[in-house]
Structures are given as structure tokens and as C-alpha cells.
Structure 1
Amino acid sequence: MSNWIEASVKEVVWWTDTLFSLIVNADVEPFKAGQFTKLSMMIDDKRIARAYSYVNAPNSNDLEFYLINVMDGLLSQQLAKLTPGDTVLIESRASGFFTIDEIPASEQLFMLSTGTAIGPFLSILDQADVWQKFKQITLVHGVRLNADLSYQKKINQLQQQYTRLRYVPVVSREQAIIGLNGRITDKIIDGSLFKHSQNTTCPQNSQFMICGNPQMVKDTSALLIEQGYSRNRRREPGQITVEQYW
């Protein structure tokens, strides 16, 4: 049973004409970094609900979600119209297993994301405990355009706080201002993604968390499996942990 409670909109941050962050306040149950909840609104007498990952750390009073205003999106179109003081319904209990306690400890962790799926990684990186399991973390963000590289200030803060954090943007549709050009899958095939980590990468010393559109998750997982990595399961720990982002 869903347990819906009211959330008050504190702020709406527009990054581009389609990408925005919704910051709300609500008395939700405790959650783990990397988990998601649901937002909902009544539209034409129907409750429309969608799952969104928390971007904020679990100890923050501000609950933050990173969204794309989808052209024909029933809910995102309405969420995009919200302004401070408005209310939206939020499911008080979070869900999901895309969390650090599900990942085996390792020398290095690669966080591979596309689009708004960088959100759960920002939540995880805001928790000091992630650094007790991994010596080095590489945050990879695949986007179409340089303008889609949101949260630069936050990422810079994290890098200053944690000097072992590397950030690699991968831009597919124009020349990258920072980072690499192309798609994450191409950069795995040609090895350039791992060169950025400045470490040799092998199943004995690396873990991968992959979050993004289903095709990217599928293709990236397949490439890593070809290179000798395996899916991480509770009964049989591996190196690849995934989250489908819609």
C-alpha cells in the first residue's frame, strides 16, 4: 500500500529548457542513498504517479529530485508548472536496492549514468560511508549536450571534499568542453574511460554501478560481461549492479 503524504515545494531549479530540479519538504520515512520514491498528482480525477530517485543525502531536510520535462509526459508536464508554496504528493517510504550496502567493497568504483540518472549517484557520494568501501570513485555522466551537465557546483564541492573522486562527462552530440566525446559504451570499447581512472581495471579491483535508460544499461552491462565482469547478486557477488531509470 502506498502511503502518500503532502510535500511543500521549496524551490524549482531550471538547468535547461527541459531539465529541472524539484526541491520539496515533507516528513518522509528514513531512506538510503540511491533509493527512489514516487511523486504523484491528481490529473483529470486520476492519480498519476512516477518513481524518482532522491538526489539529496538522507540527512538533508530538503528532498530533491532531478527531472526531465517530457514532451508528452503526463506527470512531468504538471510537475514542471509547480512553484514555491505549491504542494505535491510524495510516497513516504522509499524503495530500491541501488545502494552501497548492496555493493561488494573494492579498490575502485565506477558510477556510470546518463541524463537525470546521475541523481542517485549524487545522493550516494554525499555520504561519507561510500569512501570506506572504495579507494577511488569515478563518476561518469553521459549526456547529449554540454548544457545538460547539471550539478557542476555540487560535483566541484564533492571533488574538493573527496580528492579521490574523479568526474568524467561524456558528451555525444557536440564537442565536449570537458571530458570525452561520444557514448559511454564507445569509451568502454576503446578503453578511454578507464584511462581516465589512471588505474588498471579488472574484476578483482573494480565495481560498476550503472544507472540510465534501459538500452544504455543493457549495452554497457553486455560490454562489461564480455570483458570478464559479472552481474552482482546477493548469493553470488559480482561487479555489475544496475538500475533501470524508467
Structure 2
Amino acid sequence: MSEAAAEAARAERPAKSSAFHELEVHSVKHYTDTLFSFRVSRPETFRFRAGEFVMIGLEGEKKPILRAYSVASPTWDEELEFYSIKVPGGALTSRLKNIQPGDTVLMGKKPTGTLVTDALRPGRRLYLLSTGTGVAPFASLIREPDVYEYYDEVVLTHTCRTHAELAYSEELVERTKNDPLVGEEAAKQLVYFNSVTREEGARTGRVTDLIRSGALFEQIGGKPLDPEHDRVMICGSEAMLKELKEMCLERDFIEGSNAKPGDMVIEKAFVGEGV
């Protein structure tokens, strides 16, 4: 076979399918020296459930460097949004923080996760309890019309170290309550409660302490967690996940899953310290 014929034969072979989507970065917003969000193009074939996560990364010297990121945009958005920390020396985030519009990031093709309404039984009130970048999956959920049909009230809590670190969730809630699709429902049904742990403010303290003392419920005009009516989703630091899970179990909440819905679900797969 001649070289020309061999080249033609190679060209006719089907291309090896990639395990990742290569997505163009559309915009990047830095909130603090440790937090930023970015939006990328969305493949036409990509489908996910609000609250799920995917693998996001960049090409490495030998293989891609990947970490789990919750999709922060709603399922109906034409773009995909992600919210990230910047960890000094982190294998991925130390590079990812420098992306600019026009750059390319990698995304896995299979979304998954437990922070989905399918993993919960019907209820009246949905608590979305988060710390740090753990608010990302809830950024997707509170912009879903179905969530306001399933629950009479949706309570989003976000606890960070400083007020500056609350900027993402504050902007998120403001946009949601003015959104053409869910704004009317969110304005009536969405309750936002934030707190800080390293600064003085109107609401200071860890969310676990505010739940235990009852301060959270006093400030939002609600009652203590009750598995008969309340459903809980938790996403944050490992210590926060452990403590809130134990608190819910002590109150007879049953942990749910995609296979067996329950009263509460937790998610450990999000970008945390050491990334």
C-alpha cells in the first residue's frame, strides 16, 4: 500500500471518542482572592439533574487533572456554570483560577450525585444547608421550577468565614428572585439565611450551632427540623457534613439515595481543601 493510500485509510477510520467534552470558557468572575465562578459552553447532548456534579479539569503533562464540581446552573440554562475555590499549590485550582474567556476546560460526560429531588420523599419544606463552595449545587436547584412545585418553602443557608465570601450566594438569590422563569415563585417561597464565622455581623456562627440553639429557626420564623414535614440537603466541609448528618439522624431523619428516597441527603463530592 502506498503512503497516500495508507493516509487515506487512516482518515476513513472513525475517530476515537473522547472521554471528555472540550468546552470553551465564556466568562470568569472573581469574588475574592480565594473564590471565583466561570461559565462555559454547553454541549447540545449534555443532560443533568439539578444538584448533580461532573468532573471538571485541564490537560496535564501526562493525563488530565480532574476534580468533581457541582453544576451551578439550572438544567434549562444554555451555558454551564461552576463555582470554585483557589487553593495555593492545588494541582487543579492553582491553574484553573487563571482561565480566561476563550480558553478550554475539560468536562466528563456523565453527571451524577445524591443532591437531587429524586432522592427525597415528598415534604413541605426543603432545607438546603451549605458552607463555602458547597452552595454550588443549590444554585442549580433554587432556579428549577419543579422545586417550587414540590415544596411550599425552600430555605437556603450559606455559611462562610467572611462577608465577602457570601457575595456569590447573595447575588444568586437576588437574580433568582428576579428571574423571568422562577422569580415569582422564589420571591414567595425562597428563604435565604447566611452567616459568618470569623467576622461580626447580623448573623454570626456555624450553621450547626445556629440549628442546635434554634437561632436559625427563630430568625426565619420556622420550627425545628422535623422529618414529618422537612427534607434536608447538605453540602459543605467534611466536618460540617458529619455533624449535620448526625444531628439529622438524632432527629429520626432517614438518609435517602437515588435508589431509595429518604428525608435527607448529603454530598461529599465537591472541591474542598487540598484541591
Place the TM-score, normalised by the shorter chain, in its bin. Answer: over 0.9
Q: Counterpart of 1:128?
A: 145
Structure 1 residues 240 and 2 mapped into 2: Cα distance closer, same or farther (>3 Å)?
Answer: farther
Decide which structure has greater helix share. Answer: 2
Q: Secondary structure at the match of 1:196?
A: helix
Q: Secondary structure at the match of 2:125?
A: strand
Of 71, 92, 106, 1:89 maps to 106
State the one-letter code of the partner of 2:132. G
Q: Counterpart of 1:165?
A: 190
Does the aligned pair in 1 maintain the 2:163–2:196 contact within 8 Å?
yes
Does the aligned pair in 1 maintain the 2:37–2:84 contact within 8 Å?
yes
Structure 1 position 200, deviation (Å)? 2.4
Structure 1 position 227, deviation (Å)? 2.8
Q: Counterpart of 2:255?
A: 231
Structure 1 position 234, deviation (Å)? 6.0
Q: Counterpart of 1:153?
A: 171
Length-normalised TM-score, structure 1: 0.93
Structure 1 position 175, deviation (Å)? 1.1
Q: Counterpart of 1:11?
A: 27
Structure 1 position 188, deviation (Å)? 1.2
Structure 1 position 89, deviation (Å)? 1.3
Q: Say how many residue pairs are matched.
A: 244
Structure 1 residues 229 and 143 mapped into 2: Cα distance closer, same or farther (>3 Å)?
Answer: same
Distance (Å, rounded) in 1 between the aligned partners of 2:222 and 2:205: 22
Please state if 1:80 is matched with 2:97.
yes
Q: Counterpart of 1:192?
A: 215
User: Which structure would you say has the larger RCO, counting Cα contacts within 8 Å and 6 or more residues apart?
Assistant: 2
Does the aligned pair in 2 maintain the 1:208–1:239 contact within 8 Å?
yes
Length-normalised TM-score, structure 2: 0.83
Structure 1 position 223, deviation (Å)? 1.6
State the one-letter code of the partner of 1:154. L
Q: CA RMSD in A?
A: 1.8
Distance (Å, rounded) in 2 between the aligned partners of 1:213 and 1:198: 27
Please state if 1:140 is matched with 2:157.
yes
Distance (Å, rounded) in 1 between the aligned partners of 2:47 and 2:102: 24
Instruction: Please say which structure displays the higher CA radius of gyration.
Output: 2
Q: Secondary structure at the match of 2:221?
A: coil
Decide which structure has greater strand share. Answer: 1
Distance (Å, rounded) in 1 between the aligned partners of 2:48 and 2:258: 20
